[in-house]
Amino acid sequence: MPKDGGIGAATPRREDVRFLTGTGNYTDDINLRGQAYVYFLRSDVAHGRLNKVDTSAAEAMPGVLRVFTGEDFVEVGGIPCGWQVTDRFGQPMQEPRHPVLAHGKVRHVGDPIAAVVAETREQARDAAEAIELDIEELPAVVDMKAALVEGAPKVHDDLTSNLCYDWGFVEENKAAVDEAFQKAAHVTTLELVNNRLIANPMEPRVAVGDYNRATGDSTLYTTSQNPHVIRLLMGAFVLGIPEHKLRVVAPDVGGGFGSKIYHYAEEAFCTFAARALNRPVKWTSSRSEAFMSDAHGRDHVTKIELALDAENNFTALRTETYANMGAYLSTFAPSIPTWLHGTLMAGNYKTPLIYVNVKAVFTNTVPVDAYRGAGRPEATYQLERVIDKAARELGVDPIALRRQNFITEFPYATPVAVEYDTGDYHATMDKLEEIADLKGFAARRKESEAKGKLRGLGVNCYIEACGIAPSNLVGQLGARAGLYESATVRVNATGGITVMTGSHSHGQGHETSFAQVVADMIGIGADQVEIVHGDTANTPMGMGTYGSRSLAVGGSAMVRATEKIISKAKKIAAHLMEAAEGDIELKDGKFSVAGTDKSVAWGDVTLAAYVPHNYPLADLEPGLEETAFYDPSNFTYPSGAYACEVEVDPETGRVTIERFAAADDFGNIVNPMIVSGQVHGGIGQGIGQALLEGCAYDENGQLLTGSFMDYAMPRASDVPFFTVDHSCATPCTHNPLGVKGCGEAGAIGSPPAVVNAVVDALRSAGKDITHIDMPLTPARVWAAMQG
Amino acid sequence: MPEVSMTVNGKPAKGQVEGRTLLVEFLRESLGLTGTHVGCDSSQCGACVVHVNGRAVKSCTMFAAEAEGAEVRTIESMAEPDGTLHPIQAAFQAHHGLQCGFCTPGMVMSAAALLAENPKPSEAEIREYLEGNICRCTGYHNIVKAILAASGQDVSAIAAE
């Protein structure tokens, strides 16, 4: 059994107490003295020329301090994009300017046109109604393929077309892949849509800008997953504020799921306006604004083809995907359909030849970027759907077809440029068959049929690349940032430890699990370790939390810093006990000399470090504080197998999830309670994508799903209890904790399981149905059954 | 501006409000009770659930002026004065019924209202009752489990931590 509070213990979360008692400190809970409020007037048309923005009447309204327009931001930078993709022909992607406030044109519903700053929120909102707009509405492009037709309206007049890039991967393999398809014994083809989603963390975005005229310091409080990244992007590229004069604080953040990674215009605005007005300026997004200004996710249209030989071995895979970028490039948008998607197309299978083509397209819609899983759910969905379809065409068991093609030897270099270090796909599938009780399915199907319901079983695998990412590699791939992580471990004189991490927790429980790691390494209680995050003023430069990277990269930095602490502490202990450093052992918070009964306590050593009276001052600095930056040498590769059982009501097309099981390999586990919770949440979101959620625009670019009234979020009654297991662990070989990351798995692995299950259910009734696009609403399922 | 007065968490509270001021705005901005959250603007998410005269109410659906003379209870009053958690709060912590914490105050207040009217709800009754409370983090698994546990029912057969 793991030690209480150490690695492997299901320690209750310490952060829960403040969240449960209403004493958290979310950004909207922050109110500064003299604070003014901003209201953004947003475009209600998808595409239009801004002929006039007359703010004079609004300026005269009660309480109004100033009304800003795009003209005020002509001299500052645009919102930057953090990743440059190079196309099939060696050319850089087309990269349009993204102004803080629209200038010249509006390009999506929700594009901010003007910003009213007033004494109260209500005054700002009232005054916005007095702004006189003359917008010449232009034809909008919404459908990606239509946007690429010659002569289509252009989202950006200064670009050559609406094509951001046409990417091929691996371009050199294209001819060999095509040849393999010529020789294939069987080819399965599937066209599908990965539906556009809206992340909708329960806390809407908030920004509070502050400026101190006496010091020239700016501070931004914001709902971010990565405050240092915001400081760098906004300071260096938008507002020209050097990092030492800019502090970014992301306090308690109410969920992110990717949507709070990016630098948003509202953050830059509040920081800019606070300086211009010498007043704190606060913006709190309404949920309606969130729907039209938070980056959306997914939105791929894909054709996938799988080639098999006569023995049902996968011989080649070919895909063509259209990926929606929306109207502007969000911070990491270009990397999602390319490097986080194409590199995962091998999945768990030894397909020798793969070619992925992605056309990224500008449309008059909200920008699209990473949403939980980011590229990997899109890869997994198409691959696991086409394999299921192939199994049905060939009349073989879909699990057997998968098992036959599993990668079984590691490390394994895929034909799409990544090397899986560890995994055991048969083991997770074996575990799944057990925990999902697949043997009992036939009997359960009979029970459902007796009730007049159709029952289906869907099974699939997934692999993902987490622990993002080796900086030198991503630099070659176009990233404009490093992707290391940092930690400072500060041991206090009386032995307590403060860890400053560059990772950020917005629900993941770092304050608990990170403390478990440090406590375990030293052998003290986890209550002796405090985790500090989310404030650039007191944490080292960090890249933040996304891509299931916190423990694998941030945790590794913390381990490295703690190793430095232990190394120095051993030197101090050796001095105190007049022994050789090499003979010092640390166990249970006590230093002892090997082979003797001599020992000193952790607290004796830490006190000596800060009260260095008996101390080797000639050889060793006083104090006990170390910083480490950890840059991973590879991605990590969590994998697993998921099973879903559904019932379909043949009268209405309504799908209910009856059972859901997940067998995951996350490598080593620090806190199994938190890991299970992460999987539960991911499955909930995956079921949401499969059955309920879908962002819809009409042909004019009007957002039809603009609130929780029309965008169907999963509710408690939409899901069952889940069965999750993470006992099949093949530890990561290249990070010190052997961890792989668990945050996105549930959202990656679950959509294909649900859709496979529904198709299976319908086929059990003799319906010749091979695919239905998500979300599988009753209307879509019913219509498919009639067709 | 009219003045409203009510009892909030057992103490008298009053303040000036506009006719359009929502109860949640009065609680958060006038009284500084920021435990009650705003997660939407269409009365769907339930992050703002409080008790008004003993009933669970979305405090974004009610004007502050409508609460004149009412007894209002918010998340800040659920734990004992010495910090001991309410049994529902304790069950949420023990069973990992929260992650980011933003929906949590509303979930706890809804769960308290449920258990007041139905002390031993079934799983299905809990899921049905939470129809107006959206959580994006947990997939509801551990929330439902925590409420079952808080009602004194055995949850040991429900899979996983």
Q: Is the pLDDT of residue A250 over 60?
A: yes
The mean pLDDT of A144-163, rounded to a whole number, is 98
The per-residue pLDDT for range A17-44, each reduced to its tens digit, is: 999 999 999 999 999 999 999 999 999 9
Closest CB from A24, A202, A687 relative to B39: A202
Compute the nearest-CA separation of B68 from chain A (Å). Answer: 22
pLDDT of residue B1: 80
Q: CA-to-CA distance for B134 and B68, rounded, in angstroms?
A: 28
Q: Is B98 on the interface with A (CB under 8 A)?
A: yes
Strand partners, A134: A52
Q: What is the side-by-side order of every strand in the sheet holding A354-362?
A: A163-169, A354-362, A314-326, A300-308, A186-194
Distance CA A191, CA A381 (A): 12
Residues of A in contact with B44 (CB under 8 A): 707-709, 713
State the helix-helix crossing angle for A745-764 and A376-394, rounded to 10 degrees: 30
Residue A127 pLDDT > 50, yes or no? yes
Chain A contacts of B38, Cβ < 8 Å?
28, 204, 284
Decide if B138 and A26 are in contact by the 8 Å CB cutoff: no
What chain B holds in terms of domains, given with CATH numbers, is 3-75 (3.10.20.30), 87-150 (1.10.150.120)
Instruction: Provide the angle, in degrees to the nearest 10, between the axes of the packed helices B141-150 and B87-94.
Output: 140
CA B57 to chain centre: 9
Average per-residue pLDDT for chain A: 97
Chain B segment 55-84 residues within 8 A of A by beta carbon are: 74-76, 78-79, 83
- What are φ and ψ of residue A555, in 5° steps? -65, -35
Q: Which residues of B touch A705 (CB under 8 A)?
A: none
A249, A260 in Cβ contact below 8 A? no
Tens digits of residue pLDDT in A331-370: 999 999 999 999 999 999 999 999 999 999 999 999 999 9
**pLDDT tens digits, A607-660:** 999 999 999 999 999 999 999 999 999 999 999 999 999 999 999 999 999 999
Structure tokens at A596: 């003797």
- The alpha-carbon gap from A257 to the nearest alpha carbon of chain B, in Å, equals 9
- Residue carrying the six token digits 């209403």: A22
Strands A314-326 and A625-630: unpaired
Residue of A nearest to B133 (CA): A715
Distance, CA of A692 to CA of A774 (rounded, Å): 8
Per-residue pLDDT tens digits for B51-68: 999 999 999 999 999 999
Q: Is the predicted pLDDT of residue A1 greater than 60, yes or no?
A: no
Q: What are the beta bridge partners of residue B22? A: B63
Q: What integer is the mean pLDDT of A445-459?
A: 98
The pair of three-digit structure tokens given for residue A447, joined into one six-digit string: 């029970």
Q: Which B residues in the span 6-35 are in contact with A, Cβ-Cβ below 8 Å?
A: 18, 20, 28-29, 33-35
Q: Which amino acid is at A505?
A: S
pLDDT band at B160 (very low <50, low <70, confident <90, very high): low
Q: How many CB atoms lie within 10 A of CB A707?
A: 16
**Chain B residue at shortest CA distance from A687:** B139
Tell me: ipTM over 0.95. Answer: yes
Q: By C-alpha distance, which of B147, B161, B159 is closest to B113?
A: B147
Residues in B touching A709 (Cβ below 8 Å): 42, 44
Q: What percent of chain A has pLDDT over 90?
A: 99
At B136, list the tokens.
Answer: 């994006």
CA–CA min distance B123, chain A (Å): 9
Restricting to A residues 694-753, those with a Cβ less than 8 Å away from any Cβ of B are 707-709, 713-717, 719, 721-725, 746
Predicted confidence (pLDDT) per residue in B30-41, tens digit: 999 999 999 999
Return the amino acid letter for B114.
Answer: L
Statement: residue B161 has pLDDT above 50? no
Q: Is A287 on the interface with B (CB under 8 A)?
A: yes
pLDDT in tens, A516-554: 999 999 999 999 999 999 999 999 999 999 999 999 999
Q: pLDDT digits over A55-94, tens only?
A: 999 999 999 999 999 999 999 999 999 999 999 999 999 9
Contact B100 A253 (CB under 8 A): yes
A670/A422 Cα distance (integer angstroms) = 18
- The verdict on a CB contact (< 8 Å) between B93 and A506 is no
